[in-house]
């Protein structure tokens, strides 16, 4: 004979009494902890550069790069306001450095990428080597390496910052240290890391200087764009991606950063992409041209008509379809290396 079903009152009494011992019932939250499919709280978002740029200019008027340490406007996901996150695992922001300024040297556990959006001639210095910035360049700041930025030209320079801040915060594993000088000493000529590792060859002796991070910390857009051009000439087009390449670590062939994977892709003129979705939410920066992103999520469909220097985010497991009448080039990054290391990454092509 089955026992009588407990009353709601008895159940609530159990919850209340055991709460004093910091206990809670799994059965009340199991559906949320183990969902049938990803249900990200993030929403798609689009930042139009022409609307955002005046606020970067105003930030340059009210605080110096040295005062701010890093003068950045954070791209916050509308559903994660106050968390300094563009997805639950990724941080993104736009950094401005004005002529004559130096963003002082520091280092931190978090890995960072820079993707240059506007301006030419500023520099970033990593571990004693400077690299001049040009639009479309992808630059890495490896974890726990000294880095600073400076602008010795007569125009402002803006770049996208992408970091794994939310991931490091999740693991409670963040450390940071400020430098004792504004700029670190330059100990190697510009291009030294590329000379050693950038030609499908590597020194016979010596370990990877940045551990799991690529020994090349600057990937010039000129070379990356040429690689896309050659791919377009000789390879079949992908129905969802157009022509898409991933940046790699030349020593391993794997991702250039242990937590972030950057990509560069071209949608040719007249491209009408097929929809797809992936568990790694992605941040996009529009390098050249115009197009449209159609995103389908739990909140319903959205459409972003984008142009050069715009940014947008596609949350985890929300369907993305790309279209471009005139053609465009897109840079993007996601947390795919972590998901692949954990064996949880999934993607799906949609008819």
Per-residue confidence (pLDDT) for residue 7, from 0 to 100: 85
Q: For residues 295 and 51, is the Cβ–Cβ distance under 8 A?
A: no
Q: Is pLDDT at 96 greater than 70 in this prediction?
A: yes
Nearest CA among 200, 179, 166 for reference residue 104? 179
Tell me the CATH number at 262.
Answer: 2.60.120.10
Average pLDDT in the chain: 96
What is the number of domains present in the chain? 1
Q: For residues 215 and 142, is the Cβ–Cβ distance under 8 A?
A: no
Instruction: Read off the pLDDT of residues 171-206 as tens digits, 9 standing for 90 and up.
Output: 999 999 999 888 999 999 999 999 999 998 888 887
Token pair for 92: 């993104």
pLDDT band of residue 30 (cuts 50, 70, 90) is: very high
Per-residue confidence (pLDDT) for residue 2, from 0 to 100: 65
Per-residue confidence (pLDDT) for residue 205, from 0 to 100: 85
Q: Does some domain include residue 9?
A: no
Nearest CA among 315, 283, 319 for reference residue 301? 319
Average pLDDT over residues 285-290: 98
Domain holding 284, by residue range, is: 38-349
Q: Does some domain include residue 126?
A: yes
pLDDT band of residue 342 (cuts 50, 70, 90) is: very high
- Flag whether the pTM goes above 0.85: yes
Instruction: Read off the pLDDT of residues 216-262 as tens digits, 9 standing for 90 and up.
Output: 999 999 999 999 999 999 999 999 999 999 999 999 999 999 999 99
Q: Does some domain include residue 319?
A: yes
- Cα(273)–Cα(287) distance, integer angstroms: 18
Q: Is pLDDT at 1 greater than 60 in this prediction?
A: no
Per-residue confidence (pLDDT) for residue 123, from 0 to 100: 97
User: Could you give phi then psi for residue 164, rounded to 5 degrees?
Assistant: -95, 30
Q: Does some domain include residue 320?
A: yes
Q: Does some domain include residue 24?
A: no
Query: Counting Cβ atoms within 10 Å, is residue 328 exposed (0-12), middle (13-18) or buried (19+)?
Result: buried
Average pLDDT over residues 75-84: 98
Q: Does some domain include residue 58?
A: yes
- Cα(157)–Cα(149) distance, integer angstroms: 11
Average pLDDT over residues 270-293: 98
Q: Does some domain include residue 20?
A: no
Q: Is pLDDT at 95 greater than 60 in this prediction?
A: yes
Q: Does some domain include residue 3?
A: no
Q: Which residue has the tokens 């799906």?
A: 348
Per-residue confidence (pLDDT) for residue 190, from 0 to 100: 95
Q: Looking at residue 302, what DSSP letter applies?
A: E
């Amino acid at each position: 004979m089955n026992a009588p079903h407990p009353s709601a009152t008895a159940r609530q009494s159990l919850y209340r009494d055991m709460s004093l011992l910091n206990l809670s019932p799994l059965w009340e939250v199991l559906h949320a902890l183990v969902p049938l499919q990803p249900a990200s709280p993030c929403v798609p978002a689009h930042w139009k550069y022409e609307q955002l740029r005046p606020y970067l200019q105003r930030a340059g008027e009210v605080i110096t790069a040295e005062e701010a340490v890093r003068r950045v406007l954070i791209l916050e996901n509308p559903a994660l306001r106050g968390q300094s996150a563009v997805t639950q695992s990724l941080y993104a922001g736009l950094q401005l450095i004005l002529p004559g300024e130096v963003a002082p040297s520091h280092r931190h556990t978090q890995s960072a990428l820079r993707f240059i959006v506007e301006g030419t001639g500023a520099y970033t210095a990593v571990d004693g080597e400077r690299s001049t910035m040009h639009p479309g360049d992808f630059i890495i700041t490896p974890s726990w390496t000294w880095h600073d930025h400076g602008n010795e030209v007569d125009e402002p320079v803006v770049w996208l910052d992408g970091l794994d801040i939310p991931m490091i915060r999740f693991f409670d594993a963040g450390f940071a240290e400020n430098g004792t000088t504004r700029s670190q000493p330059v100990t190697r000529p510009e291009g030294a890391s590329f000379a050693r590792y950038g030609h499908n060859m590597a020194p016979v002796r010596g370990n990877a200087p940045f551990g799991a991070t690529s020994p090349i910390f600057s990937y010039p857009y000129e070379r990356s764009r040429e690689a896309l051009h050659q791919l377009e000439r000789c390879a079949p087009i992908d129905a969802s991606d157009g022509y898409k390449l991933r940046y790699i670590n030349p020593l391993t062939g794997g991702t250039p950063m242990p937590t972030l994977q950057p990509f560069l892709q071209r949608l040719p003129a007249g491209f009408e992409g097929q929809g797809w979705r992936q568990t790694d939410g992605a941040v996009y920066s529009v390098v050249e041209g115009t197009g449209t992103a159609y995103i389908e999520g739990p909140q319903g469909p959205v459409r972003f008509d984008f142009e050069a220097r715009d940014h947008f985010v596609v949350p985890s497991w929300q369907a993305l379809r790309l279209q471009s009448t005139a053609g465009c080039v897109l840079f993007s990054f996601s947390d795919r290396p972590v998901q692949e290391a954990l064996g949880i990454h999934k993607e799906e092509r949609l008819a």
